[in-house]
Chains A and B, each alone.
Chain A
């Protein structure tokens, strides 16, 4: 392998990334260089990756270098790199100039690497308009990070549920990533729900999206289709009625609609919107089916409803409200 012997075959992007890492290592970047670096990072996803890689590699290299014990291992070339006059100048200046290798705080850079973060608190619903006019509606307890470059529109959904209404732009695919899954669209609307690490639901309200699971064939979903991934890694695609879809997206208007869900399922839905958690420990009660429309912002209304229809009472303990049969 000749690579270690020459620099000509080093990747140009990797070299540029390394230039930035070495610059940052020397101290904080002046404002104009910060601007240059952010322009460079946002121009191409490979730039961002190369910078992350160069930082990790340099970190590792610095650690390994400590094994040298502060001394050079190989002798410097014997002839002519240092003149006598220079050597004297060094002796005079060496004392004050020894710099520490610092990784100064640079949150602005980390924001660039991580993307713009949008999140919603418990019970909050939030609408975000992205630079291209696409709209994200975040349901309760959701978090995404957006990366826009000249050629890509990428959203990473880390948790929660988001409805995407995508502006049409055939030159830039709109991709939502969820771990190693992705869902791609050009101009359409779809809802992605990620409530825990193993579950995922994608519902299309308009147009077509392409679902790209890892290590499985890609699959197109059209309006009124819903794909669900269960804990065992199985994907099920089913048709849903318009009414069902509206029901599923009722959260946008601050409502939650139950139509035959079990009490257990209903409670876990309600609990997404509130700090005070509802619980049920009676297995028979938990399997009762319920119907009704409730505001997401007010679990009290839901509890009232359960009181009158199922004849339950409420026992408070700390932040948990336990539902049980009243005697």
Chain B
């Protein structure tokens, strides 16, 4: 049970997460009537839905993600009752096959560079907490002692730091193919 669940998290991390930023851009581009909050709602709902799907046979996570988001969007509009004509017209023309091709691929190394860029933009305290926790893997208690603050504060700083980093990397960053670095090399040669 645990192994299976673990694999599912891992699969989502490897095959869905890399496309989130691209899917968000696609939503922004094609559905001008959607507010930023609506897009967050949709993305959250999409993760819930895909968890419930059987994705053992899915080869193309990107297309799968697009399909699920598109369906969630349709359902959301239906629930809203007020039919936004413009938006509906836009969805009808949203064909997953017409979605833009992968914009750009980065490997793990490049994504690590992006992580460092994102860290640069954090406040010094948040950056320090993130590094001590994620890079040096220190326990929260020790980080609290080092910084002379309470554990509660460290918890909070870490949450904000990680939240910002996740947003920068996965909601706004570039599509990263990290299922295998080889795959990346192959694509790069072909392009």
Q: Is A129 an interface residue (CB 8 A)?
A: no
Report the separation of the CA atoms of residues A26 and B54 in the bound assembly, to the nearest whole angstrom: 30
**Contact: B128 with A76, CB < 8 Å?**
yes
Q: Given the complex, which residues of B lie within 8 Å of A307, measured CB to CB?
A: none
Q: Is B101 an interface residue (CB 8 A)?
A: no
Which listed residue, A10, A49, A101, touches B47 by the CB 8 Å rule? A49
Which listed residue, A70, A74, A77, touches B120 by the CB 8 Å rule? A74
Q: Given the complex, which residues of B lie within 8 Å of A60, measured CB to CB?
A: 13, 17, 170, 178
**Contact: B159 with A19, CB < 8 Å?**
yes
**Contact: A61 with B49, CB < 8 Å?**
no
User: Nearest-CB distance from B175 to chain A (Å)?
Assistant: 13
Q: Which size class do B's interface residues fall under?
A: 35 or more
Which A-chain residue is minimally distant from B114 (CB atoms)?
A: A64
Report the separation of the CA atoms of residues A202 and B110 in the bound assembly, to the nearest whole angstrom: 48
CB within 8 Å for A81 and B142 given contacts A3-B168, A56-B17, A59-B9: no
Q: Is B183 an interface residue (CB 8 A)?
A: no
Report the separation of the CA atoms of residues A15 and B160 in the bound assembly, to the nearest whole angstrom: 8
Q: Is B136 an interface residue (CB 8 A)?
A: yes
Report the separation of the CA atoms of residues A174 and B125 in the bound assembly, to the nearest whole angstrom: 48
Q: Is A110 an interface residue (CB 8 A)?
A: yes
How would you classify the secondary structure of chain A's contact residues: helix, strand, loop or mixed? helix
Q: Is A11 an interface residue (CB 8 A)?
A: yes
Q: Given the complex, which residues of A lie within 8 Å of B162, measured CB to CB?
A: 18, 22, 58, 61
Residue interface mask B118-129, A partner, CB < 8 A = 1: 111110110110
User: Taking each of A70, A113, A179, which has the highest tally of chain B beta carbons within 10 Å of its own beta carbon?
Assistant: A179
Q: Is A156 an interface residue (CB 8 A)?
A: yes
CB within 8 Å for A53 and B131 given contacts A67-B109, A82-B147, A110-B1: no
How would you classify the secondary structure of chain B's contact residues: helix, strand, loop or mixed? helix
**Contact: B49 with A214, CB < 8 Å?**
no
Q: Which size class do A's interface residues fall under?
A: 35 or more
8 A Cβ contacts from A65-80 to B: 65, 67-68, 70-74, 76-77
Q: Is A206 an interface residue (CB 8 A)?
A: no
**Contact: A214 with B141, CB < 8 Å?**
no
User: Taking each of A11, A114, A212, which has the highest tally of chain B beta carbons within 10 Å of its own beta carbon?
Assistant: A11
Q: Given the complex, which residues of A lie within 8 Å of B158, measured CB to CB?
A: 22
CB within 8 Å for A65 and B17 given contacts A10-B164, A76-B128, A214-B71: no
Known A13-B44, A177-B52, A212-B75; further 5 A-B contacts with Cβ < 8 A: A14-B163, A60-B17, A64-B108, A71-B136, A114-B52
B residues sitting closer than 8 Å to A (CB atoms) are 1-2, 5-6, 9-10, 12-13, 16-17, 20, 37, 40-41, 43-49, 51-54, 57, 67-68, 70-71, 74-75, 95-96, 108-109, 111-112, 115-116, 118-122, 124-125, 127-128, 131-132, 134-142, 145-148, 155, 158-160, 162-172, 178
Complex A-B, nearest 3 residue pairs according to Cβ-Cβ distance, in ascending order: A49-B48, A49-B47, A49-B44
